[in-house]
Chain A
Amino acid sequence: MKLHTITLQSIKRRKAKSLFLALGIILSVGSVVTLINVGNNVNKSIAEHLDEFGANIIVTPRTDEVNFNYAGINISSTSYQKNELTTDDALKIKKIKNGKNISVLAPKLLNIAKTDKGKVIVSGVNFSEEKRLKKWWKLTGNYPISKNEIILGNLAAEKLNLSIGGNIEISTSKYKITGILTETGSQDDEMIFMDLTEAGILFDKQNKVSFIEVAALCYDCPIEEIVAQTSAMLPGAKVTPIKQAIESKMSAIHSFELFALGISFVILLISILIVFVNVNASVNERTKEIGILKAIGFRDSHILKVIVYEVAFISIVSGFVGYLISMPATSIITPFLTMEGNSSNAFDFIYLPLAVGISVVVGIIAGIYPAIRATRMDPTVAFRAI
């Protein structure tokens, strides 16, 4: 017979009360772990989808002066560029440690071109990457399928008085217009877009690129790491994170985290109150028992242990059960809150220590005061006849 025997027998033979106490903890721990788990899934989903909305890293050659630029990128032929980027540099970015986190890699070659109808900025792009990077583009007509086909921004079309199906002569080459972008509100409206390789040939800058737009966001690693890895991979390039884009993405993610944290806090607070009321009532109910234990020589520390062991044991078991409940609950709820509409059914054991830890903390916080109160009870109550 040891102190824990009293604990175990009390739990075993006072089933209804133990079950009620456990239920309070199970529901709260299950809810909190589900919320955290769902929150992580939703965050991942948000992060993955936010990646699709534009670049968040710009890779440019190191330059000394800025004369003519697009979105801060120097494209003037008068500026002196110490280093130039190549299409191979773009491929190298895929090879960084976090290469798998890069969803879009869009190299561009910009040049001011003389056309038969005036000067205009021409952007050589990889159309397949560009379409993925700029999901907001709406095109009237079709994307080019051959190298002598181009598309125009709506202002460029207006300025040059061109329409779909028309032709334009750039330098000495002729190009067919297959589509016109609807207004984007950006500098894209004033530009001509053609195939990157063709632009290289046209401007005698084969394999050269003016800058590279990168869309990358890794939910579980900071963007700064990707920037650092890219800088190391391309020492002659300037790698700049677009702070605003990153901050808005992270803000969207953190706002859900804060929401989940707030709800979890409220649930845990309610749980602590439920456990407190339950343990306190149990201590009141056991006043005579505590009096007997004191009369037969139990010290305050022994009384404290009897109560705390009981709460701790129920908390540990409840934490485990809460974890078991939270996993299928996560699988059921996640599809409703994520854009993918599906989720894994696999049990993630990372949440087991979290569930048990939360449960024990709730139990101890709620149970410690009633336990201390039990040690201060008057032992002479044992002498009072029922």
Chain B
Amino acid sequence: MTLLKRGLSRRRVLQTGMAGIIGTGIAPMVFTKGAWAQEFCNNPTGDTVTIGLNLPLTGAYAEEGADEQKAYELAIAHLNGEGDGGLISVLTPTALTGKGILGKKVAFVTSDSQTKSDVARAGATRMIERDGAIMITGGSSSGEAIAVQGLCQELGVIFMAGLTHSNDTTGKDKRRYGFRHFFNAYQSGIGLGPILGQEYGTDRRAYHLTADYTWGWTQEESMKAATEALGWQTAEAVRTPLGAADFSQYLTPVLNSGADVLILNHYGNDMVNSLTQAIQFGMRDREANGKTFEIVVPLFSELMAKGAGENIKGIFGTSNWHWNLQDPGSIAFTKSFGAAYGSPPSQAAHTAYVQTLLYADAVERAGTFYPPEVIKALEGHEFDGMGNGRTLYRAEDHQCMKSILVVRGNENPTSEYDVLNVVQEVDREATTYDPAIFGGDLGPAEPVPLCA
């Protein structure tokens, strides 16, 4: 039996024993939570606790990944009581002490996920198995987030998603161990729909170019639903591969399609490229069906706006957060990030920072790192001060319910960072939806799977 030749430690015996017990389906009857409460994956026993940052440092979303990394490092410094403390003082209610998490100093390990699901999973596994990460966070692609979230559920490690906007992350593919602070495509549709109707009228034909993976699909669906509710028609929806540098073959058919609005369901470099090329095709100077041709980018970020430069002017989209908001949380975060890195933070950086603090706060409130207790502390938790107004971590799907922003490319930017104007803040009541519409199943928190 090759399985037992080596490495027969106490842990292995327990683990194989556990697997056997679970396998026969009598697990819930045999052991109670109390007896196993402290036996879980990477239980930190020393005086440090390690967080795994899984970031795309190469690939189509590399720029977001780099900004997220800055935010994570800042958040960890603040948790350890270094720097100016950032948002720790504005989070309400708070259990954070500025002395690490539960008195343990926070350390981190990183992994480049290359904007690929396979690689992201391998990186997360390495950080859990080798480096002993208690929590995994990061990612700026929904494909990655869903893949890593599934893995974390398998291994019993909490995943705090970074930038992921697909409905599936907290919809069809939601997991008990996965949490998302960022908003989603459905909420973008709710926010953007009325503004588009108001600005562009109710008689329009839209052409979608969609990044061909989970985020693109759900955003296309949500945008179709929102615009068709206004009375718009959808001329066609075309899928484009992630990371394609040249979009001209997809843009040419738009000109002859009879459409008068182009909706770009692209993000990161893809959006920068497709938008720039669309403008080079002269799309914004065209008239179609007797109306000015318009371009809409449903998910916007400052980093992309910067990359697209002039082309972004006057274009509508939505954002999770913007550094120019005037609430105390946003001001404190922009100041602290600016002092450390010399530029205002992006929405990716904001969500990364907030997720780290929320995890630390949940652990403090739970009084333990034991994942099911931390999950309970996060589920249904209501907090304020993080820049999006009063926010609820909804228990049904682990999606944060908060206000979102409708933004527009700035016509007269005063600096290279002042590229977006906030048109409207859509409040939490308006963006709240019924979690049941996307289906999915969170799965159980217990028994806690034991990683190797």
Partners in one complex: no
| B residues whose Cβ falls under 8 Å from a Cβ of A | none
